[in-house]
Each structure stands twice: as C-alpha cells, then as structure tokens.
Amino acid sequence: MSVKENIEFAQTGNLTAGNRLQDIQVCSVQATQDRANALDSGHRACQGCGEALGARMAIDKVMELSKNKVHVVNATGCLEVFTTPFPETSWNVPWLHSLFGNAPAVATGVQAALKAKGMEDVTVIAQGGDGSTVDIGFGCLSGMFERNDDVLYICYDNEAYMNTGVQRSGATPPTARTATTPLSGPHPGNNFGQGKSVPKIAMAHGIPYVATATIANVRDLERKVAKAMSMKGARYLHIHVPCPLGWGSLPKDTIKLARLAVESGLYPLFEAEQGVLTGVTKIRKKIPVDEYLKLQRRFTHLFKKGADTADLEGVQALADAHIAHYNLWDGE
C-alpha cells in the first residue's frame, strides 16, 4: 500500500482530491496551486468533457514527476481536435499531432530522436482516444509494445468515435446505441461480441506496466501515472472518460458516471507488471449496473417496456464476471 493510501481517516480521508487536514504533499497534484495545467482553459470540448479532464489529470502528474520535461504525441480524435483548432492551442507542453493511426510509431520516433540528441531525460507520452488506440492505431501500438519502446501510452476511453458523430468503436460496450449501432431488431444497440480489452492485450505483450484508471479517483490515477513513470520501456495506461454528448448523459454527471462504472464492476481498476496482475482497486459501494446505465440515453432502450431482459442481464453478467475475475468486492 502506498503512503497516500495509508493516510488515517480525516473527514474525507483520501476520497477527495485534497484535504486541508493532510500535508499537501500527500494530496493529489490536482489539489495543488502550482499544478502545470498542461491542458489549459479555452479548449472547445463540450460541457462536462471527461476526456479533457482525464488528460489534464494525467499530464499534470507527468509534468510534476518529469520536472516539465515532457513531449506529447497525440493521435487524431476529440482530444486533438478540441485542443488545437488553428490558430489556437490549449497545450502548455510540447505537443505533436500526425495521423489517426500512427501516434505510437511517431512517439517511438520522437523517443529515438531525443536519444540521439542525448535528451533521454525527456518523458515521451503518446495519447489518443479509444478509436485510435483500440482500432485504427492498434497495429502501431502493438509494435510499440513488442519493441518495448520507452513510451508511456495513455488511452482516454470514451467508448466510441465521438468527434465524428458517435460511431461504434472496438471499445463500445454491448447494447449501447451509437450512430452505427442503431435501435433495431430484437437486440437493439451494439452486439455482445467477444470484447476487446486493450489493457489485457497489453498485458499479453508482457510490457513493464499496464493499468486502468478513472477520472472519478484522481489519487488512484496519479499513483498509477507515477508508477508508470518509475519504469522504463513500453507502458500503457487506460483511463475511462465519460462523454456527455456520446452517452446522452448530463454534463454534471461525468464524474458520477465514471464512479458508477467502477462501483458496478463494469470498469475494473487494476494494474499489472510484466504481464502479471499486481493489484486491483476494490469496489467501495457495490451497485447494480442499472444505476449506471439509467443515467445514459444510449442505454434507455434496455429499460423500455417490452425490452428483452436478456440484454440487461447480459450487461450485469459482464460486470459480475469482472468482479469475480479481478476479485473486486470484499463484501457479501
């Protein structure tokens, strides 16, 4: 258990980002006045954007630990589009965009160039949404893993192609309605399929570090960034970032949804080193998946009169499988 998790209860303990009763050094970087604000105001993300928040949380922690020596390579996607509409940028870091599918390869190149110039103390980050990570850039990502290039890859997973109008991706959950998985037929929305967990695929590459994180738990997220930063080689961080536009949820509920995804078991928080699971963040207050799904219009058909209950049961079964597989719940 890290120092941060071991703080004695003090009103809200470690559940809030900061805590005036704790030493600021043990609070999250987000709670400090001098955080880097790597992703600054004025960007054009929608109200309540989880991705903008996840990116600031992750990169601010990288900035702190690398003493601002960071280079970020960004894949095409919402994050790229809303932060850099010409002639403006919201990034307070050296930041590079090339194509949709090649961010891991570009980052590998940046890292090689820095090495050639003797600048190995610069941390190289590659980042993208689930579209570029799970689908389009997956080949490049797998190559980066297989070569164990010294890059920390961060995926901000909002479970579809939001920027282009909410099309299904390999990370879209079963039963979710998107522009390309409409409400038709006996089982409306996305099909159940086989699933495609990039964290698990990354683990199968045996890379030094793989972790899942959420914007609903900033201390856990920052701890995982720090753990990744303490290692060399290819590292992978998968951050769950709700999207009010694509999910049909209220902008104010973004953190709440991220939290409910974890508490329901649908989004397990775990970490692995060299392909071996080393830790999980337990569920604190277990809830049925309904509580999470009902707040999102992309799932409303599951609760309509006459809906096939097998669909909702299938989603619950997924959550239950996660809870059993990762041993996420200590209660009855």
Partner 1 sequence: MAFTLPYAITLEVGSSLENKTGSWRTERPVYLDRLPPCNIECPAGENIQAWLGLSQEGKYREAWEEIVHNNPLPAVHGRVCYHPCEDGCNRKQMESPVSIHAVERFLGDEAVKNNWKVSAADSTGKKVLVVGAGPGGLSAAYHLRRMGHNVTVVDSKSAPGGMMRYGIPSYRLPRDVLDTEVKRIEDLGVSFKYNTRIDDVAATMKADGYDAAFLAVGAHIARTLDMPSDDSVTITDAVTYLNDIENNGKATALGKKVAVYGAGNTAMDVARSARRSGVEDVTIIYRGVRENMPAHAFEIEEAIEEGIKIATLRSVKEYKGGNIVLEINEADADGRTKSTGKTETLQADAIVYALGQLVDTDLLKNCSGIVETDNVIEINTQMMTGMDGVFAGGDMVPSARTVTTAVGHGKKAARYIDAYLKGESYTPADKHETASFDKLNTWYYEEESMREQPILDLDKRKTTFDEVLGDLDEQTAQREAMRCMSCGNCFECDNCYTVCPDNAITKLGPGKRFEIKYDYCKGCGMCVEECPCGSMLMAPEEL
Binding site for partner 1 (CB under 8 A): 9-13, 15-21, 27-28, 30-33, 37, 39-45, 47-50, 52-53, 56-57, 83-84, 86-92, 215, 218, 244, 250-256, 259, 285
Edge-first strand listing for the sheet containing 209-214: 95-97, 70-74, 123-129, 152-157, 235-240, 209-214, 269-273, 276-281
Q: Which helix (H) or strand (E) holds 279?
A: strand 276-281
Integer angstrom CA distances of residue 30 from 16, 101, 281, 295: 11, 30, 20, 27
Give min distance, CB of 8 to partner 1, in A.
9
Do 257 and 244 form a contact (C-beta atoms < 8 A)? no
In the complex with partner 1, the residue whose CB is nearer, 13 or 233, is: 13
Q: Which residues contact 112 (CB under 8 A, 6 or more apart)?
A: none
In the complex with partner 1, the residue whose CB is nearer, 56 or 235, is: 56
- Cα 281 from Cα 294, distance rounded (Å): 24
Q: Which helix (H) or strand (E) holds 68?
A: none
Give min distance, CB of 102 to partner 1, in A.
17
Give min distance, CB of 12 to partner 1, in A.
5
In the complex with partner 1, the residue whose CB is nearer, 105 or 218, is: 218
- Cα 243 from Cα 294, distance rounded (Å): 15
In the complex with partner 1, the residue whose CB is nearer, 20 or 115, is: 20
Specify the pairing of strand 269-273 against strand 209-214. antiparallel
In the complex with partner 1, the residue whose CB is nearer, 98 or 142, is: 98
Give min distance, CB of 84 to partner 1, in A.
6
In the complex with partner 1, the residue whose CB is nearer, 219 or 301, is: 219
Give min distance, CB of 5 to partner 1, in A.
13
Q: Strand, coil or helix: what is 22?
A: coil
Which amino acid does the sequence have at 213?
A
In the complex with partner 1, the residue whose CB is nearer, 266 or 302, is: 266
Q: Which residues contact 141 (CB under 8 A, 6 or more apart)?
A: 104, 133, 153, 198
In the complex with partner 1, the residue whose CB is nearer, 117 or 285, is: 285
- Cα 139 from Cα 102, distance rounded (Å): 9
Give min distance, CB of 201 to partner 1, in A.
29
- Cα 14 from Cα 18, distance rounded (Å): 7
Strand partners, 72: 95, 125
Give min distance, CB of 276 to partner 1, in A.
31
Give min distance, CB of 256 to partner 1, in A.
6
